[in-house]
């Protein structure tokens, strides 16, 4: 994890503003998902490397949860929620053009350009 001092925060805000502008220019709309998801979601939808690098634990109710290591499994879960159970039809205009800049966490070896806490620009 890391701190963002005011100068770094200004730079990050400038960069993220460019992400938002590019996404909007191409007709994408922003979405977000919980930072804390069921561990099972990532075990089913993510690769082995990611599941080995998850920050996971049991919450106070005993549920196995994980900090979001990437956004794709959460996006898949959200798209499935849009599907009508009886017909399988999706309750949204296709194609979906969604984007996000989520904060993600992975327990991996830190090195230049690879931190355990990072942001990931997704245009899906």
pLDDT at position 85: 61
Per-domain residue ranges of the chain = 6-123
Residue among 86, 54, 92 at smallest CA distance from 73: 54
Contact 28, 75 (CB under 8 A): no
SS3 6: helix
pLDDT at position 51: 79
The CATH T-level fold of domain 6-123 is: BirA Bifunctional Protein; domain 2 (3.30.930)
pLDDT at position 73: 92
As a whole number of angstroms, the distance between CA 22 and CA 20 comes to 6
Average pLDDT per consecutive 10 residues, the chain (124 residues; last block may be shorter)? 89 97 97 95 78 92 95 91 74 87 89 82 92
In what order do the strands lie in the sheet containing 122-123?
29-30, 98-100, 122-123
């Amino acid at each position: 994890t890391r701190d963002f001092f005011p100068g770094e925060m200004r730079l990050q805000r400038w960069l993220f503003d460019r992400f938002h502008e590019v996404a909007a220019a191409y007709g994408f709309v922003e979405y977000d998902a919980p930072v804390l998801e069921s561990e099972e979601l990532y075990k089913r939808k993510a690769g082995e490397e990611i599941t080995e690098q998850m920050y996971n634990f049991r919450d106070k109710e005993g549920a196995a949860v994980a900090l979001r290591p990437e956004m794709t499994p959460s996006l898949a879960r959200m798209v499935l929620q849009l599907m009508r159970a009886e017909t399988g039809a999706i309750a949204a205009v296709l194609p979906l053009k969604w984007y996000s800049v989520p904060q993600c966490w992975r327990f991996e070896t830190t090195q230049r350009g690879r931190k355990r806490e990072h942001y990931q620009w997704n245009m899906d």
